Amino acid sequence: MPTRATKLKLLIGAAAVPLTLPLALVSPAWSSPSPPPEPSTLCAPAGILRGAHGQRASISLCAGSGTPTMAVSAPATCRGGGSGDGGACLTSGTWTARKDGVTAVSGRLPGSGEYPGPGTYEVTADVHVKSAPAGVDLHGTVRATLTLTAPKPPATHRIEVDRSTLRRGAATTLTYRIFRDSEQGDGSARFGLIGEESSGVRLSTKDARCVNPLTGRYPATTRNAYALDCAVTDLQPGHPAKVVVRASVGSACSTVVSKLGYWMPQGQALYTGGMLAGPTVGCA
């Protein structure tokens, strides 16, 4: 059975030679791929809280997608017990997003966590809603189902560490490596380590790029021994930065968390950077 085809001409010298190819080989698939979807925010009604005297708060849950972080907020409108009084109100609290019954990410309201990727999420929020003009002061739990479609952006930065556990009553050397895998942005980043303040853990390094942060008002000179702050300025793809840290733990154990703040310049645009959570080192 004949197949559909199209004829192309190859020019060899001055002669035109007909060439027959299947249509599939000259299809629009040769065109440039579509650009990725822009970051967006999805909102859905989440519930209504009611007070004993007719107060009412209508709450939505909103989640952003398409960026490295998933920002969640709970906008609400309030109405007091009287007729006609109402308007905007303040919301605070905590939220949890679950996918297939498993917690994917959580945080405070308003706040953000690492974007876990596309999917349908059951978002639950324990909220505190207040409106002084309307006399509203309500607590409650609201829920919404949000289906996010934006793909998870590729990671631009990452942190690795050579150990996963500190030893109680000993000093442990930790070697961190900070990577920038993206061609975008520049080599500047702020690398931070934080232990548990009450444990007595001490973080130190000979690296001149790092300091224990100052606390108190000038001219105070007290430094937080349980935290370390490093200014990294030479990150390039294929050229990670290395920071060697000594973590001294006493009789009380302490975990050490790591974070990386980085800037992805787009001219003078704001909010083009990010904050990355690195590995947590435990204690035993």
Looking at the domain 157-283, which fold is it? Immunoglobulin-like (2.60.40)
* Segment 240-284, tens digit of pLDDT: 999 999 999 999 999 999 999 998 777 777 656 778 889 999 999
Mean pLDDT of the chain: 86
- Residue 214: Cβ within 10 Å count: 13
- Residue 184 has what pLDDT? 83
Lowest mean pLDDT among 45-49, 163-167, 172-176, 265-269: 265-269
Rounded to an integer, what distance in angstroms lies between the CA atom of residue 91 and that of residue 87? 13
* Segment 2-20, tens digit of pLDDT: 444 433 333 333 344 443 4
198 φ, ψ (degrees, to nearest 5): -75, -10
270 φ, ψ (degrees, to nearest 5): -90, 165
Q: Please, what's the b/e burial string for 161-197 (b: 16 or more CB within 10 A of its CB; e: otherwise)? A: bebeebeeeeebebebebbbeeeebeebbbbbbbbbe
* Segment 79-134, tens digit of pLDDT: 987 655 667 799 999 999 999 999 999 999 999 888 999 999 999 999 999 998 88
Q: β-strand 136-148 against 5-12: which pairing, if any?
A: unpaired
Rounded to an integer, what distance in angstroms lies between the CA atom of residue 113 and that of residue 69? 5
Tell me the mean pLDDT in the region 178-202.
94
In one-letter notation, the amino acid at residue 242 is K
Ramachandran category for residue 149: left, alpha or beta (phi over 0 → left; psi -120 to 50 → alpha): alpha
Q: Hey, where are the domains in the chain? A: 40-148, 157-283
* Residue 64: pLDDT over 70: yes
Lowest mean pLDDT among 28-32, 173-177, 185-189: 28-32
* Segment 65-74, tens digit of pLDDT: 888 889 999 9
In one-letter notation, the amino acid at residue 126 is D
Closest CA to 75 of 119, 125, 16, 113: 125
* Segment 51-61, tens digit of pLDDT: 998 999 999 99
Rg (CA), the chain: 27
**Contact of 166 with 173, CB cutoff 8 Å:** no
Tell me the mean pLDDT in the region 192-214.
97
pTM confidence score: 0.71
